[in-house]
Amino acid sequence: MTTDTMREWWRPASTEATARPPAALATAVAADAQSGDRERLAFGALIAFTIILLVSPQAWFPAIKSLRIALLAAVIAIAAHLGSRAIGRTAALPVRREMVIALALVAWAALTIPLSIWPGGSLSSLTDHLLKAVVFFWLIGTLVTSERRLHVFAWMLSICSIPLAVTALNNYREGVFVTAATSAVQRIAGYVGGSGLAGNPNDLALMLNLLMPITGALLMISRSPVLRIIAGVALLLSVAAVIATFSRAGFITLAAIGVLTVLAMIRRGALATALGVLFFGAVALALVPQQYFTRLATIANIEADPTGSAQGRWDDWVLSVNYIGQHPLTGAGLGQDLLALNVERGHETWRSVHNAYLQAAVDLGLPGAALLIALLAASFQNARRVRRIATRHRVEGLAVVAQSVSISLAAYSVAAFFHPIAYQFYFFCLAGLAVALVNVSRTRFGSAT
């Protein structure tokens, strides 16, 4: 039963609600209960969809792969929510600028399809990636409307990081590598044979990094010793797993998270905790193998990379900038940066540019990149405003969670310079959480952000 419904139901006899005939009143109450059930079903389906997205149970149990459980969960979430809106009394949330920007990005991608290098490929990228990510963003921003739901969703994300981290550490321990035994740098295999959002070591490090600030927030605000232990273990495993991936982008992002976390702690007066984080970081670096530092050295000296990947990625950045200069308005078409770069190189490597900002600009021109950056900026603004409002009202738990979402968005902003993830679920999950923070702020304080 929604808050507005409860107000109507217990209002004095002079109100319209109690002036109804008993049978009509009973019908209205039953309809409200059904509406609440639909919303709970929709939120449960969103949780299930997110778990499937992160953990990929179909990779562990191939028998259920044909059931398309992710699609089923998404359809249930959408249908249950729309049913609650159409049949029950669930009020529609205000149309926010973030959704307008996201829809504008989808519309621009669709409009550029006829001008794409490969229109069919752009259409597939639109329906298989961008549109699904925007729907995920909408579901989070629409269904996560209370502090309880926000905490449930955050805990689900944190717990899902555990199997990802354990898989990475187990692959490192058992020598499950994707590189040849003679390679200068050994890289572990990704999550469960390349499944889900963590299918390769770089994506695995990215996913763990983005979830880490949220796990840290839960560790700080949880009162239950058991929950604090779970969050602490998840955090330790995630840090170790990011190092085990030998991902240079993963290290840079992890370092950014560490710096921002320490600064946030100092700003909140938790100096002792900040010193503890710095000490833990120093101990962690002292325990890593020398090969890891050799790998990191190629960040500053790309010519020293024996694998050639650093040099290749820098060349792709230069070629992407050249292509954007030649096609600033519409680009190559959604998902077609691979083809565009093949043309620029003069030979086929089928490698996407490892920079989400350049990827968006190559694909959709400067307008598409501007829309993506605008959505990122709006998400930052939401998280920071909610943090300030919660701090002003002395609601520490919400303030800490809002700060963690802000740090995760900052981590994504850094990681986006090194990953081709412009239309993937990573960012749209965080953007949805930023809108969810606004929902909670409005419910708790009656303030719109």
339 and 441, same domain (yes or no)? yes
DSSP state of 114: G
What is the rounded CA–CA span in Å between residue 115 and residue 128? 19
Strands (E) across 227-332 are located at none
- Report field, pTM of the whole predicted structure over 0.85: yes
Give bridge partners of residue 177 from the DSSP assignment. Answer: 188
428 and 291, same domain (yes or no)? yes
Determine the 3-state secondary structure of 255 from DSSP: helix
257 and 204, same domain (yes or no)? yes
Q: Which domain does 192 fall in, by range?
A: 97-445
Measured over the CA atoms of residue 343, residue 348, residue 354 and residue 360, the dihedral's sign is: positive
219 and 72, same domain (yes or no)? no
136 and 41, same domain (yes or no)? no
Given the structure tokens 């490929």, which residue do they identify? 121
CA distances from 207 to 17, 54, 85, 163 (A): 49, 9, 33, 12
pLDDT tens digit sequence for 37-77: 678 999 999 999 999 999 989 888 888 888 889 999 999 99
What is the rounded CA–CA span in Å between residue 420 and residue 337? 10
Q: How far is CA 215 from the centre of its chain?
A: 13
Amino acid identity of 305? Answer: D
Which of 92, 119, 144 terminates a domain? The answer is 92
Backbone angles phi, psi at 56, to 5 degrees: 50, 65
Tens of pLDDT along the chain (449 residues) come to: 444 433 333 333 333 333 344 444 344 344 444 445 678 999 999 999 999 999 989 888 888 888 889 999 999 999 998 888 777 656 667 778 999 999 999 999 999 999 999 999 999 999 999 999 999 999 999 999 999 999 999 999 999 999 999 999 999 999 888 887 667 778 899 888 666 788 899 999 999 999 999 999 999 999 999 999 999 999 999 999 999 999 999 999 999 999 999 999 888 888 888 888 888 888 877 778 888 888 888 887 777 777 778 888 888 999 999 999 999 999 999 999 999 999 988 887 888 899 999 999 999 999 999 999 999 999 999 999 999 999 999 999 999 999 999 999 999 999 999 999 999 999 999 999 999 999 999 988 886 55
211 and 301, same domain (yes or no)? yes
335 and 418, same domain (yes or no)? yes
Q: What is the mean pLDDT of the chain?
A: 87
Q: At what angle do helices 201-221 and 147-174 cross, to 10 degrees?
A: 130
57 and 115, same domain (yes or no)? no
Which of 92, 108, 132 terminates a domain? The answer is 92
Which of 54, 74, 92 terminates a domain? The answer is 92
pLDDT tens digit sequence for 368-380: 999 999 999 999 9
133 and 244, same domain (yes or no)? yes
pLDDT tens digit sequence for 330-355: 999 999 999 999 998 888 788 889 99
pLDDT tens digit sequence for 104-157: 999 999 999 999 999 999 999 999 999 999 999 999 999 999 999 999 999 999
DSSP state of 141: H
What count of other Cβ atoms lies within 10 Å of the Cβ of residue 91? 11
60 and 170, same domain (yes or no)? no
Q: Which two tokens stand for residue 379?
A: 């998400």
Q: Is residue 357 a contact partner of residue 365, using CB atoms and an 8 Å limit?
A: no
What is the rounded CA–CA span in Å between residue 208 and residue 163? 10
Q: Give the number of domains in the chain.
A: 2
343 and 424, same domain (yes or no)? yes
What count of other Cβ atoms lies within 10 Å of the Cβ of residue 448? 10
59 and 182, same domain (yes or no)? no
